[in-house]
């Protein structure tokens, strides 16, 4: 799918993180801007982080106009990805239901639907009977602990095979001349002229990176990591307002396909979709305690099963096949941190919380554009790091699938 290379001593752009964001940035740099002297470095294997651990859901029914426009461009790119990358990424546009179990949840769904419609995004609030028609296995009776009062219905949402997205971007970037370096761990980001005691931080200029395979120079270093984004950024002297939490997920044995849409319940802290192979994929809220551990817990499985069975009592005999977890970098406003920083040549594409997979294609496209034009692309102008000091937050907590 892609070649191995010896590490060169210089690249025009170095991208840290071989997940969808890093690979997409490399691909669009080469494809849209002709910048091909690019290295993507990853301490593990391509797609081994959040890109291979998410629950593969895509949607653009966000709460802020900035978020809706951004994630909608990502959906557009997902729509044509199989053709663009010449690989079947199994995008299944099957509709996305966010259930409302309380009056206040319904109010937020109506709010989101109106913001979405204004941006031309297909979203509307529907009642319990329409929910039942779209997802017959859901219990919409009124006798449950959290009766379903309605839902935000978003037909363009769906699921995509996340590994295929990694492989597609990696192979296409490789074909265009980008070098992909796995098992290449970043030990330091090299900066000169900064205000910090080590010459890093504000006012500095990036000169390259130090890796376990040697030093590489470059005028542009892009942090496209998840989970360790703030630790990597500290190496450049650019602290990030991020706390890192694990998010657990699980998958059942396959069974006959019966769930035609993605279903999310904020109050029950669960989301579920059925793969084309028939497995049910579940996710939940992030774990409450910040940590870098990614082990699964029995508590998670017990809670998940209890909540799912409240929604779909008919699946009580299904067996879980496995569980796993990934790391989510949470920002104060649930929007990402993107673009140029106080260190010249050091850019970030981080802070994705639980939204990273949805945003992969558009992040790559806009980060590549930002590098090519020397300023943040218009679509990400509101996601800059300066918003945390200027107080100009982009609050997307209300668009989170579940309460985190
Ligand atoms: O925001 O749709 C979402 C989501 C799904 C899984 C994690 N986040």
Reading the chain (404 residues) residue by residue, the pLDDT tens digits are: 999 999 999 999 999 999 999 999 999 999 999 999 999 999 999 999 999 999 999 999 999 999 999 999 999 999 999 999 999 999 999 999 999 999 999 999 999 999 999 999 999 999 999 999 999 999 999 999 999 999 999 999 999 999 999 999 999 999 999 999 999 999 999 999 999 999 999 999 999 999 999 999 999 999 999 999 999 999 999 999 999 999 999 999 999 999 999 999 999 999 999 999 999 999 999 999 999 999 999 999 999 999 999 999 999 999 999 999 999 999 999 999 999 999 999 999 999 999 999 999 999 999 999 999 999 999 999 999 999 999 999 999 999 988 77
Q: Cα(360) to centroid of ligand 1, in Å?
A: 13
Q: Pull the structure tokens for residue 34.
A: 């002709």
189-195 long-range contacts (CB < 8 A, ≥24 apart) are: 189/221, 189/232, 189/235, 189/236, 189/346, 190/215, 190/217, 191/236, 191/237, 191/343, 191/346, 194/237, 194/343
Q: Which residue's alpha carbon is nearest to atom 6 within ligand 1?
A: 55
Pairwise CA distance, residues 186 & 168, whole Å: 24
- Nearest alpha-carbon partner for 385 in 352, 348, 346: 348
- Nearest alpha-carbon partner for 124 in 96, 147, 101, 149: 96
Q: Does 401 contact ligand 1 (Cβ within 6 A)? A: yes
Q: Does 59 contact ligand 1 (Cβ within 6 A)? A: yes
**Mutation choice for ligand 1 from 280, 285, 400, CB with most ligand atoms inside 8 A:** 400
User: What region, left, alpha or beta, does residue 62 occupy, with left being phi > 0 and alpha being psi -120 to 50 degrees?
Assistant: beta
CA angle 170, 171, 172 (to 5 degrees): 95
Q: Does 353 contact ligand 1 (Cβ within 6 A)? A: no
In degrees and rounded to multiples of 5, residue 388 shows phi and psi of: -75, -25
**Atom of ligand 1 at shortest range from CA of 400:** 1
Global pTM value? 0.98
User: What region, left, alpha or beta, does residue 76 occupy, with left being phi > 0 and alpha being psi -120 to 50 degrees?
Assistant: alpha
CB atoms within 10 A of CB 337: 28
Q: Which residues pair with residue 15 across a beta bridge?
A: 40, 222
């Amino acid at each position: 799918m892609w070649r191995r290379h010896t590490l060169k001593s210089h690249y025009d752009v170095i991208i840290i993180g071989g997940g969808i964001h890093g690979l997409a940035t490399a691909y669009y740099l080469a494809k849209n801007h002709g910048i091909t002297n690019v290295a993507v470095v990853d301490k593990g294997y391509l797609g081994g982080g959040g890109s291979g651990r998410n629950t593969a859901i895509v949607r653009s029914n966000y709460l802020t106009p900035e978020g809706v426009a951004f994630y909608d461009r990502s959906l557009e790119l997902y729509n044509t990805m199989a053709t663009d990358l010449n690989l079947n990424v199994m995008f299944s546009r099957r509709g996305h239901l966010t259930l409302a179990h309380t009056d206040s949840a319904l109010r937020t769904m109506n709010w989101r639907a109106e913001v979405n419609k204004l941006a031309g995004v297909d979203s509307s609030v529907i009642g319990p009977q329409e929910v039942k028609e779209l997802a017959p296995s859901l219990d919409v009776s009124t006798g449950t602990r959290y009766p379903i009062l309605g839902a935000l219905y978003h037909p363009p949402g769906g699921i995509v095979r996340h590994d295929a997205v990694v492989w597609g971007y990696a192979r296409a970037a490789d074909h265009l001349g980008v070098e992909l370096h796995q098992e290449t761990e970043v030990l330091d980001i090299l900066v000169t002229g900064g205000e910090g005691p080590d010459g890093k931080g504000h006012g500095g200029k990036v000169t390259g990176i130090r890796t376990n395979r040697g030093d590489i120079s470059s005028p542009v270093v892009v942090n496209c990591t998840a989970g360790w984004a703030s630790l990597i950024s500290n190496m450049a002297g650019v602290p990030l307002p991020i706390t890192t939490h694990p998010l657990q997920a699980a998958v059942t044995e396959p069974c006959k396909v019966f769930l035609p849409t993605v279903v999310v319940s904020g109050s029950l802290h669960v989301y579920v979709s059925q793969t084309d192979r028939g497995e049910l994929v579940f996710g939940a809220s992030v774990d409450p305690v910040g940590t870098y551990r990614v082990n699964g817990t029995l508590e998670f499985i017990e809670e998940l099963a209890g909540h799912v069975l409240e929604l779909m009592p008919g699946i009580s005999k299904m067996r879980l096949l496995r569980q796993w977890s990934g790391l989510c970098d949470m920002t104060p406003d649930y929007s990402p941190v993107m673009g140029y920083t106080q260190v010249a040549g050091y850019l970030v594409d981080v802070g994705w919380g639980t939204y990273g997979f949805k945003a992969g294609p558009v992040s790559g496209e806009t980060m590549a554009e930002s590098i090519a034009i020397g300023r943040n692309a218009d679509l990400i102008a509101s996601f800059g790091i300066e918003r945390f000091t200027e107080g100009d937050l982009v609050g997307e907590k209300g668009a989170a699938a579940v309460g985190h």
